[in-house]
Amino acid sequence: MLSYRHAFHAGNHADVLKHLIQIQIIDYLGQKDKPFWYIDSHAGAGAYSLTEGYATKTAEYVDGVARLWQRDDAPPAVARYLDVVKGINPDGQLRYYPGSPWFAAQTMHASEKLRLFELHPSDHKLLGECFADAGRRIKVERGNGFEALKSVLPPPPRRALVLIDPPYEDKSDYQHVVNAMKESLKRFATGTYAIWYPLLQRPEIKDMVAQLKALPCQSWLDVTLTVRTPSKEGFGMHGSGMFIVNPPWTLAATLQQTLPWLSERLAVDKGAWHSIDYRENA
């Protein structure tokens, strides 16, 4: 489906959770003196304006990154995330929000490579323009990210973070995620995979997470952040989750220290909550 544009949602509570965790994984992988790749199955446009275009129609960032922007009491993981956001806003005004590829490019070593896939023709064009001067380090391709993963796994350095972040506008995306993970683990069992998913009142989500927990992997971490009480009508996203396969061993403890603060700051009502579930060395 080509109707989805992430610009409508840039900088919202789900982006905060996703990108905070993304940075923590990249920082961990970067501690070793061995290269790794960043692979993004649904990369989007690369960066987004918050003062014009799609983002102004919904202004979801107001209850997301904007709530944290001026905080001086943020936990280390949140402060690290905000430093990258501030890097794209050097004048101190929150005008732009970086997408997942931008966070990766800014936090990885300059010698490490990024492989970015985007199907939407407009976002693919913007993504290419965003990294036009990156040379061979960053390769942008137009394609179905679920299928495209086969072309890059396993990556040459045998180390990678793979971000899988589809729009889920098509209900079949939930099963596409599971199928892609099964195929990816056959090709590259030791990779770190981060899967973002929305919290909606849909049975497909619980089924997808249950299938992910049954994958043949060494360990997994399932994290959710709820910002509001689910609506009685059953509509709308009340939170989001990140399911990480082969996560850094430090990540669960970091999030246990971070999520209570983050949940309180991003809460819309008393229904705000967070959860952490994990399995180690299965």
**C-alpha dihedral over 167, 183, 161, 111, to 10 degrees?**
-110
Instruction: Determine the 3-state secondary structure of 174 from DSSP.
Output: helix
Give the model's confidence band at 261: pLDDT under 50 very low, under 70 low, under 90 confident, else very high: very high
The answer, yes or no, to whether residue 56 has pLDDT greater than 80, is no
Bridge partners (DSSP) of residue 276 are 223
The pLDDT value given to residue 60: 93
Per-residue pLDDT of 80-114, as tens digits, reads: 999 999 999 999 999 999 999 999 999 999 999 99
Per-residue pLDDT of 4-17, as tens digits, reads: 557 778 999 999 99
6 CA to centre of own chain: 12
Written as six digits, the tokens of 279 are: 């399995």
- Residue 244: which H helix or E strand, with range? strand 239-245
Residue 145 · residue 39 · CB < 8 Å: no
Per-residue pLDDT of 206-233, as tens digits, reads: 999 999 999 999 999 999 999 999 988 8
The pLDDT value given to residue 177: 98
Arithmetic mean of pLDDT, 21-29: 98
What gap in Å lies between CA 166 and CA 246, rounded to an integer?
20
Q: Is the dihedral of CA 73, 76, 78, 82 positive or negative?
A: positive
Catalytic amino acids? 165
